[in-house]
Structure 1
């Protein structure tokens, strides 16, 4: 990946330097993915530490694990996605397709649906 510690990846010298606005937009997207990953991890910690157990056994843990795994995967793949987009821009190729938004979106939607059902099912 890197030729020497502290140096740029070898691919960073390939192709042509993209317009700095696109590079900065790619960086902002990378940072948004990291923020989202950290928010999902924070939600998992909050759920595990501060929310009382649900009436359905193990649902509490399953939901916290879903959020933690989703946040971890998103954070882990954020740099990879940033690098793929940078390489594509440097070589004038189309941006690569990724399944991460689909996976993250559905994981968040499932977690949201479970929370909604639990809130509506709570006795008043």
Structure 2
């Protein structure tokens, strides 16, 4: 049966390349979260040279917490972008960029203090 010009598809078609790019971006954020989680585990188990165990614990906890936040926000962002593309709307801004920038700065600062105190 031929479709007439007045019929509209139930959902607008999104170019699959954009959908796959959105998925790759999500997976990149998940890889970042996994890297931070691995870093937190490594700091907690391998960084015996820190002067105090509290600095080691703070650094490891900051890594693990940042990993959880990134994983949660990445999924939300993926869904928001996918919905916007389906609607044909402008893409939403991402809160992940400032979160990661501030989080990594805090982790790096904590690690730097721990190394300097050691």
Q: TM-score, normalised by structure 2?
A: 0.81
Is 1:115 the equivalent of 2:115?
no
Equivalent residue pairs, number: 110
The unaligned stretches of length 5 or more in structure 2 are 1-8
* Aligned match of 1:68: 64
Q: Which has the larger radius of gyration?
A: 2
* Aligned match of 1:42: 38
Is 1:86 the equivalent of 2:104?
no
Moved more, 88-97 or 54-63: 54-63
In structure 1, distance between residues paired with 2:29 and 2:53:
32
Please report the RMSD computed on the Cα atoms of aligned residues, expressed in angstroms: 2.1
More RCO (CA 8 Å, sep 6+): 2
Contact preservation (8 Å) 1:14, 1:90: no
Q: TM-score, normalised by structure 1?
A: 0.78
The unaligned stretches of length 5 or more in structure 1 are 1-12
Moved over 6 A (4+): none
Q: Can you list the C-alpha shifts for 1:78-98, whole angstroms capped at 9, x where unaligned?
A: 222111100000111111123
2:94 to 98, 107, 117: 98
* Aligned match of 1:4: none
